[in-house]
Structure 1
């Protein structure tokens, strides 16, 4: 009986850590995207997405991206802040979980954001804002470079953490 209670307490403790880190990643992405601004690009969102995908997994990373997107929308950005952000961490996180490869996480972030997010944004921008860019591929040239740059920065940080042996310590602390 006590063993089951101990396992349940550890599980709750692990989920609590992940929720707090999810909120911290969302806030970090929001602050970085607010102070380092590029028109129609948010490379720091993708930077944080890659880190969150590795440390938290696809679903918490998606939650962090969603929360950041909502905060960005509340500060005047369009629905692209959410639609463009949530697919990269899901695909990147799933690929990382399956392979353990930072390169695959990078690819998942770029494909999820640069292509899937861009394609989803087109009908939403048309529906909610009346913007007709004449092509569902319109946003790909904006999303993909930002995803490549941001995901590349995220992978660089992860490689540095791995080299200094901090990555495993940090992941062990989260029980990932």
Structure 2
């Protein structure tokens, strides 16, 4: 399913759905960030996705990171709540979703990097190399807050 992200775009379609989603800022012992290259929009992102019925947000993070990257993680803290109504995602099936994502920090505990149906590339990236990647501004905001050593979560 294809997707188009609209961010602060007055011509964006009106949202018709709102679903809880999670994402994770995962760093290895060298400080590198776990990134994927999405199959639906060809952009780089941190792993994440929709929470499913019957799971906690922490369980959703663990599942999504493993599904998209092959890496198992422990969730350690909340980066923030990202709910900017000026960020909507239009999917090819007609759904237009307003952003609502809880972003967490997580620590890798095992596994091996592998791509999936949602990630055509999985890699560890040094923070100073992030500028070389095509990352949507809303994802970059999550990354920037996730890399800060703050106890208080960010929220919009």
Q: Please tell me the TM-score bracket, short chain as reference.
A: under 0.3
Larger helix share, 1 or 2: 1
Higher strand share: 2
- Structure of larger gyration radius: 1
TM-score by length of 2: 0.26
When normalised by structure 1's length, the TM-score is: 0.24
